[in-house]
Amino acid sequence: SAVISQKPSRDICQRGTSLTIQCQVDSQVTMMFWYRQQPGQSLTLIATANQGSEATYESGFVIDKFPISRPNLTFSTLTVSNMSPEDSSIYLCSYCRSRADTQYFGPGTRLTVL
């Protein structure tokens, strides 16, 4: 599997601000995803990051709140906009090389909103 990293690993932010999380894979991958894991919960998919086009968002998630970029096949960003305490969560980037491939996860970004 490729090495996948995220920055920052954790952050504490004030209500109303925005945070951009970066995800880097050390080789080209076809599909990248962004998940959220709220305290004590399982993983929920936010969106599929599509290279060169707009992300595909799941029900309950919108581009204005979670803008996503994917400028190339190794990098993606997720922005959590106008944050509130309810956005406190772990945000995880993941990738797979093809639709039949295993999905691998980055180390996650632990976000706390005060």
Give the list of residues 6+ apart from residue 63 with CB closer than 8 angstroms, or none. 54, 55, 57
Site for another protein contains 41 (CB under 8 A): yes
Smallest distance from the beta carbon of 42 to another protein, in angstroms? 5
- For another protein, the binding residue among 2, 8, 12, 58 (CB under 8 A) is 58
Non-local (6+) Cβ contacts of 74 within 8 A are 24, 25, 26, 27, 28, 29
Question: Per CB under 8 A, which region of 11-19, 20-28, 35-43, 64-72 contacts another protein?
Answer: 35-43
Q: Do 21 and 11 form a contact (C-beta atoms < 8 A)?
A: no
Residues that bind another protein (CB under 8 A): 1, 31, 33, 41-45, 47-48, 56-59, 92, 96, 99-100, 102-108, 110
